[in-house]
Amino acid sequence: MSELFTTLIDRYTVLRGDWGVWLDLAVVVCATVALDLLVRLLFAWLYRFVRRTANIWDDALFYSFRGPLQGLIWIAGISVAIHIARPENSDAWLAYLPQVRGIALVVLFAWFLFRLIRSVGANVLARAASRENSIDATSADAVAKLMYVCVLIVAGVLLLQVFGVPLSALLAFSSIGGIALGFAARDVLANIFGGLTVYLNRPFSVGDWIRSPERDIEGVVEAIGWRATTVRRFDMRPLYVPNAIFSNVALENPSRMTHRRIMETVSVRYDDAALVPDIVQEVRRVLDEDEAIDSDEVILTYLDSLGDSALKLLIYCYTRTTDWAEYLAIKQSVLQRVQDTVRAHGAAIAFPTTTMHVPGEVRFAREPAESEQPQEEIDPDKVQSERRRAVAREQRRAEDARGPDSPTEEG
């Protein structure tokens, strides 16, 4: 083996004498390509074992190492090739080669950490969803974003050191620049700290239904960013709320309710006042036996008040479910059975009525009948005059009928 290795070195020395730098460059390039192919084959072989394991870290490391490791191989190969080639008049720009190489290494380092954080977060959430573990997606997203910020800060410090900026000058600049930045970006920082408060206190999570009685904010949380939170209204319009608002307003989270309340008032006629105790007792028994109503919570069925036109019965209880559609179905069933109970006792649901009391006897005016209508007085002279005029009209009509040539009667 040693003789073979010695023979290869001797032949390479002879060839290098003829080809020189070009042979060195060819060797470096071939070695880089071969190493890259070897890494690809190695990862392809490891993939068969990684996908069979239940550990989330080997998947994350496999996904995170592959790209940055191949990039590191090519950076090393190109750096060696440039040093071997050394073209003429290249000393001026070769002086910047360490800085360029340092920037590339920092970028690869940040790329590796970004891929690792994203892969671990995705695997943790997927494993929690499959096993129904209580891992909050909002908390996982907050931790991932915080780690991204830390990686960016570390990468920025490393880049400044690559350019030769001392750490003491960096700290002095950060203190002065931090004060100026605080005044210039006061609102932005307020939103960032508001988002941090939301992440830490977790008054709501992605997918929760939130509502603010002080502001016109109501809908389902879609995303929680560092500056604003996206809320999808029930009319499907998005609402972008700055995170600083959540530090100054009262907020309701109906998604975290344990029960839904039924509080209704049923009106019964005053004529059925004697039946009210039996009706109330029967309604209470019906609610106690209903499996959809939580009997461990408060159940109230009482005569609540004496209304203007009816007796008011209070129905107060809690459902076991918090789903809106199921709650409406249970409420409809409860109200229907309350009506059936009222009718079964011979009572009736009251409706608004008004009773008027008038002192003394009430008399109504009656229009006289046609036979009772007063008749007009008859004037005899007027009647006689009308008769004579009627006779005269008859005579003229008869004369007109005979004509001028008609024979006359002789006596």
DSSP-assigned letter for residue 310: S
Residue-level pLDDT at 337:
93
Residue-level pLDDT at 107:
86
If we measure between CA atoms, which residue out of 154, 226, 158 comes closest to residue 192? 226
Q: Give the contacts of 221 (CB within 8 A, at least 6 positions apart).
A: 204, 205, 206, 207, 208, 209, 210, 229, 230, 231, 232
pTM for this structure? 0.50
Residue-level pLDDT at 293:
93
Residue-level pLDDT at 5:
43
Q: What is the mean pLDDT of each run of 10 residues along the chain (411 residues)?
A: 47 52 67 80 74 66 76 77 61 67 84 82 65 57 75 81 69 56 60 74 86 88 84 92 85 89 92 92 92 91 90 94 92 94 91 74 61 57 72 73 50 32
Residue-level pLDDT at 409:
42
Set out the domains of the chain in order of their start, with CATH numbers. Answer: 2-135 (no CATH), 194-255 (2.30.30.60), 258-344 (3.30.70.100)
If we measure between CA atoms, which residue out of 166, 354, 339, 323 comes closest to residue 254? 323
CA-to-CA distance for 391 and 407, rounded, in angstroms? 23
CA distances from 244 to 93, 142, 191, 193, 194 (A): 49, 17, 5, 7, 5
Q: Are 224 and 176 in contact (CB under 8 A)?
A: no
Q: Give the contacts of 35 (CB within 8 A, at least 6 positions apart).
A: 73, 77
Q: Pinpoint the alpha helices (H) of 51-166.
A: 56-85, 91-94, 97-131, 137-162
Residue-level pLDDT at 368:
57
Q: Give the contacts of 253 (CB within 8 A, at least 6 positions apart).
A: 203, 204, 208, 209, 210, 211
Residue-level pLDDT at 55:
64
Residue-level pLDDT at 371:
56
Print burial letters for 325-341: b (CB count within 10 Å at least 16), e (below 16): eebeebbeebeebbeeb
CA-to-CA distance for 63 and 47, rounded, in angstroms? 10
Residue-level pLDDT at 68:
81
Q: Are 161 and 109 in contact (CB under 8 A)?
A: no
Residue-level pLDDT at 313:
94
